[in-house]
Chain A
């Protein structure tokens, strides 16, 4: 199903390498989000963006970076500064002023 797509589904990284996770949406949503999902910790917000060329840090932004050059795209880079990057990463989007968020299928990142 369309809406929000994330790629790749699985990603392996060696320590010290940066890696970029893709997130694309065709819902014409203004806002996009990146979450990290760890067992027992729920979803924690990494970064979010309300409009193109603007984004804000979430609760756990250290070691991550994002860009929002297009409305449809919100890639997340996991840098070597992230101490514990192995996790399941979820991207979401929403209309501004509407709390309902639509989620992608996720990317599972494993650091070897």
Chain B
């Protein structure tokens, strides 16, 4: 079964501290992994996807197939990073639905 687990409902850090939002998945095959973000009063939007290997707003995420993880990291958190973050996966071939985790709220305090 496809499943995405985000173990932390809330992650609270101070500005300038490193951030790691955890995401583990189960999938029988080669999945594609995503991180979506929802800032206050804004719509849900894609932050990054593992196949593009981009760093967006200072965030990076590496797919670890051995640990089946796709943790989101940023070395120095900013207050504007405060938002709801969702990890999601899909298959790679044909039409594939997205399966979302339950989300982690990141709160960055000054």
Contacts and interface: CB of A to CB of B under 8 A. Distances in A.
B86 A99 contact: no
B8 to A, nearest CB: 12
Contacts of B45: 102-103
How many interface residues does chain B have, given as a range? 20 to 34
A35 B43 CA distance: 13
A23 interface: no
Tell me what chain B mostly uses at the interface: helix, strand, loop, or mixed. Answer: loop
Contacts of A33: 97-98
Interface residues of A, number: 24
Contacts of A103: 43-45
A49 to B, nearest CB: 11
A102 B98 CA distance: 12
A65 B102 CA distance: 24
A99 B44 contact: no
